[in-house]
Structure 1
Amino acid sequence: MSSAQSPIRYPPLGSSSVMTKRGWWLVVLNLLVPGSAQVLAGNRRLGRFGLGATLTLWALAVLLGVAYLLWPAAVFTLFTSTLGLWAAAAVLVFYAVIWVILTLDTIRLVRLVKAAPKARPVIAGLAVVLMVAVSGTAAYGAYVATTASGFLSSVFVAGPTEPPVDGRYNILLLGGDAGADREGMRPDSISVVSIDADTGQATMIGLPRDLLYVPFSDDSPMKAEYPDGYGGTNETCRVGGVDDPCQLNWIYTEVEDKSPEMYPDAVSQGSEPGIEGMRDAAQGVTGLTIQYFVLIDMQGFSDLIDALGGVDIDVQSRVPVHSDDTFTDVAFWFEPGMQHMDGYHALWFARSRHGTSDYDRMNRQHQLQEAVLAQANPTNVIAKFEAVAKAGTQVVKTDIPQGMLGYFVNLASKTKTLPINSVNLTPDNNIDPTDPDYTAIREMIDAALNPPSTETPAP
């Protein structure tokens, strides 16, 4: 084959213009179809290996794309499992190395000394930049995959999965108020998030922390201790003062500190006795079966918000930021309107007490939780993954098994497209926390979760 027929493999070394064009072609081919430059102009054995690796990667990408369209939960499960993440990391490292080798070999094949003098640094520079971009992205992806594996293994438990009950997953969401200035932990925010297992429609049920005479689920050891509800007739809870009412969020402290033996298997199952007592109480209040819990350390929540780059909150009315932890002295006020808050100020927004009620705080805490969920989109999380993962391990405790993550990630993608319904057990909804009617509460929750059908029956 003559040079005229194949200037790529048999270039005219004396023509700088042809060598320059050839150089550009080789760099572009190496980017678009790694291995093709070697097949056309260099070591064909290396080129065939590179092409095979490239075509295999494309085939894997197509298969994953088809699988995502047909079975998205399966794809999410693959990439939230330890094995799947390490396999992805190994593949990405392999391709990062391959792209470096092929790019360096492409630069050799270009024969820069034969190209036009002004084009030499540009061709070489472009090839190096593309190599760093492609291989660096793959290497960073491998780092994210291995870090994610460690993060998921540290936060989520290895255990059996739970089926939906009446077509729903119900998750107890606790916001803990532990901090350097506080002894122990009491749930400062208590909610049950009920999610339709098919549609992803979520309903957040807010339970006031000062709810009294809380009933427990029938199989709860706490029911034997308090058959008439927590602190009910002729019963006194074991925390607080003699004359203090026994309110919902004290259950955690009582079980955790006074009677952890009631739940001997809690720790081995990734929970805590106090959390299990709160779960039994939430089941008794709502009448729902609660499969999982998520405990969020509100103090650590500040670090997570900072890791995400802050959070946008639509402030409904003036909220004070205090100058100390007495919740009395006011440093300044958040004015109504959209506000971008860092973790410190977002935490004050959620915890502020000056001139507000517990129910106001409960609404603000729910608002903050929803805003963080909206802010934690895949692009934002991946871009700041190291900081998010570090903060997340300090913020979240849950008994959701790692094997359920793929399912819940897929369900959450549906949830994000729908408005979140709210049912708050507060005086605004005719619920008196000091004298609650639990039959009426369960009926209200059932009506919210199972609204009457608006479809007109067929004639």
Structure 2
Amino acid sequence: MSTGAVLGWTLLSALVPGAGHLRAGWRRTGLALLGCYAAGLLAVLLVVLTADGDLFGAAVNWLQTIAVGALLLGLAWFALIVHTFIVLNPGRLPQNAQILTGTLAGLLAVAVIAPFALAAQTVFTAHSAIDNIFAPDENPMADRPQQQGRPADPWAGRQRVNILLLGGDADTHRTGVRTDSMNLASIDVASGNTVLMSLPRNLENVRFRPGTPMAERFPNGFRLPADPGGGRSDLLNSVWEYADAHPEIFGGRTHQGAKVLMETIGHTLGVKVDWYALVNMWGFAKLIDAIGGVTLTVERDVVFGKYNEGLVKAGTRKLNGGDAMWYARSRTYSDDYTRMRRQRCVIAALLDQADPATVLTRFNKIALATKELIRTDIPRNMLAHLVPLALKVKNAKVSSIQFVPPLISTGYPDWDKIRQISTKAIRDSVTRRPAVASATPTGSSTPKPRKTASLDPTKSLGDGCGVL
């Protein structure tokens, strides 16, 4: 057999295991390898064609097994290349040809194992990130009754899951966290339809759930004396920080901030908050960089910086993490309510642009960024159920409400009105269909009358974004 033939059949065996063995006369081994290879291809094809959210969710619980399997498969493929080269009997070749073919076969074997090693490393990274982010396994809904004779329902019969999404700036000089961005995502578990309800950071006289220690301390609402500089530390964004700084209110129990804020926002909106996820806002910039930036339409120049030295120019383009965060967070020549709208636009763009292909190709960067980014009390064992739910949300209707003036006065909030709007939005989201592109139905010359903001303040998540 010539030098070219040895190399050619070795290379072909890397793509079609067993081909080299058949050429070398190892008929049974070659056919067995080809049969295993064909079965493997069919299995992969079947998985691709039938993959759904439940499969991806289940895979979260098998990450270590998947990683080890990838390594073992890579080692097996490495051994296959080496054995194929041996059975092709390169010893019959001249010495120089033996050195050349041996070197190239070795490089080929290393090249074949590299993708499997990368896959294993990626999965191990995911496993480590998940274990660091999510809380220990438990089921906070376990006290709800289950119907006998039916598979256990991870949502315990609930129609919705409510997750509090917080953005805050942790500070080493503070005991707690100031939550400058507060959004409650209420998700329909059947359809994935989601209502994102945004509460302003400067909501005053916050009411606490009756019977709680904070309600006993502040029976007429959260009110403290003004700060020496004239600022206030009794706004909604200070609840977490205040609760963490005053363990005596809770009988000496520490780190009560997250629980208190969940109870408070749940009471404000008239829902039960299941879990929270706190995002470090500047860590969020790392996540945007990890996915390669986010394309946004900046309506007008956004100025930022201590001396107004920074500028995010108007126009449509891809922003890096730093510019996207300044676009979302700057209050220079602006106000909290405009900033809330810009934050919603960033969330909408991320939800639209963070497609599975992007996530997979940049997974390691995303996992490392997320590891430093999020704190949550979501139990690890619920992730298998949240993954398919998140995929539903990706393709479902996501609407939003911002409880800001003129809808709600932040200084004198109408708490009953907030709950009524929240209840109506959640009820409507069960049957709401995605908005069509045109404002006028096909075949009709008369637009349908639009509801006023006071009657229906619910909007699509991307409404008001991308208009220059």
Q: 2:362 aligns with which of 384, 403, 428?
A: 384
Give ranges in structure 2 of 5+ residues lacking alignment.
Answer: 142-154, 434-468
Rate the CA distance shift 1:180–1:308 in 2: closer, same or farther, 3 A: farther
Q: Residue type matched to 2:403 in 1?
A: L
Give ranges in structure 1 of 5+ residues lacking alignment.
Answer: 1-12
Q: Residue type matched to 1:441 in 2?
A: I
Distance in 2 (CA, whole Å) between partners of 1:308 and 1:338 is: 18
1:240-266 C-alpha deviation (Å, 9 max, x unpaired): 88984731111111101123662877x
Matched, 1:450 2:437: no
1:194 is paired with a residue of what secondary structure?
strand
- The equivalent of 2:304 in structure 1 is 321
Deviation at residue 182 of structure 1 after TM alignment: 7.7
Deviation at residue 88 of structure 1 after TM alignment: 0.6
- The equivalent of 1:400 in structure 2 is 378
Of the structure 1 ranges 312-321 and 130-139, higher mean CA displacement relative to structure 2 is found in: 130-139
1:379-418 C-alpha deviation (Å, 9 max, x unpaired): 3333333332222121100011121212222111121123
Q: Is the 8 A contact 1:30 1:37 kept in 2?
A: no
Distance in 2 (CA, whole Å) between partners of 1:376 and 1:260 is: 44
Rate the CA distance shift 1:204–1:372 in 2: closer, same or farther, 3 A: same
Deviation at residue 201 of structure 1 after TM alignment: 1.1
Matched, 1:303 2:295: no
- The equivalent of 1:3 in structure 2 is none
- The equivalent of 1:4 in structure 2 is none
Q: Is the 8 A contact 1:239 1:254 kept in 2?
A: no
Deviation at residue 110 of structure 1 after TM alignment: 4.4
Of the structure 1 ranges 181-190 and 56-65, higher mean CA displacement relative to structure 2 is found in: 56-65
Rate the CA distance shift 1:303–1:245 in 2: closer, same or farther, 3 A: closer
Q: Residue type matched to 1:427 in 2?
A: P
Q: 2:262 aligns with which of 242, 265, 279?
A: 279
Matched, 1:259 2:247: yes
1:309 is paired with a residue of what secondary structure?
coil
1:451 is paired with a residue of what secondary structure?
helix
Rate the CA distance shift 1:157–1:167 in 2: closer, same or farther, 3 A: same
Q: Is the 8 A contact 1:31 1:130 kept in 2?
A: no
Rate the CA distance shift 1:262–1:230 in 2: closer, same or farther, 3 A: same
1:415-434 C-alpha deviation (Å, 9 max, x unpaired): 11234201000114x21111
Q: 1:177 aligns with which of 166, 169, 177?
A: 169
Distance in 2 (CA, whole Å) between partners of 1:454 and 1:318 is: 35
Deviation at residue 300 of structure 1 after TM alignment: 1.6
Deviation at residue 287 of structure 1 after TM alignment: 0.3
Deviation at residue 337 of structure 1 after TM alignment: 2.7
Distance in 2 (CA, whole Å) between partners of 1:240 and 1:110 is: 85
- The equivalent of 1:210 in structure 2 is 202
Please give the TM-score of this superposition, normalised by the length of structure 1. 0.79
1:195-215 C-alpha deviation (Å, 9 max, x unpaired): 111111111100001112222
- 1:33-432 mapped onto 2 (5 Å cutoff): 34-41=17-24, 47=30, 50=33, 54=37, 57-58=40-41, 61=44, 64-65=47-48, 68-69=51-52, 72-73=53-54, 75-81=55-61, 84-110=62-88, 131-161=109-139, 162=141, 163=155, 167-179=159-171, 185-218=177-210, 220-231=212-223, 236=224, 244=232, 246-259=234-247, 262=250, 272-322=255-305, 324=306, 329-428=307-406, 430-432=407-409
Q: Residue type matched to 2:257 in 1?
A: G
Q: Is the 8 A contact 2:57 2:386 kept in 1?
A: no
1:427 is paired with a residue of what secondary structure?
coil
Q: Residue type matched to 1:311 in 2?
A: V
Q: Is the 8 A contact 2:164 2:182 kept in 1?
A: yes
Deviation at residue 183 of structure 1 after TM alignment: 8.1
Q: Residue type matched to 2:422 in 1?
A: I
Rate the CA distance shift 1:150–1:332 in 2: closer, same or farther, 3 A: closer
Distance in 2 (CA, whole Å) between partners of 1:243 and 1:94 is: 61
Q: Is the 8 A contact 1:286 1:442 kept in 2?
A: yes
Distance in 1 (CA, whole Å) between partners of 2:388 and 2:42 is: 24
1:188 is paired with a residue of what secondary structure?
strand
Q: Is the 8 A contact 2:6 2:101 kept in 1?
A: no
Of the structure 1 ranges 442-451 and 154-163, higher mean CA displacement relative to structure 2 is found in: 154-163
Please give the TM-score of this superposition, normalised by the length of structure 2. 0.77
Deviation at residue 372 of structure 1 after TM alignment: 3.3
Of the structure 1 ranges 241-250 and 195-204, higher mean CA displacement relative to structure 2 is found in: 241-250
Q: Is the 8 A contact 1:27 1:123 kept in 2?
A: no
Identity fraction in percent? 29
2:365 is paired with a residue of what secondary structure?
helix
Residues matched between the structures, number: 418
Distance in 2 (CA, whole Å) between partners of 1:61 and 1:90 is: 18
Q: Is the 8 A contact 1:172 1:192 kept in 2?
A: yes
Rate the CA distance shift 1:59–1:417 in 2: closer, same or farther, 3 A: same
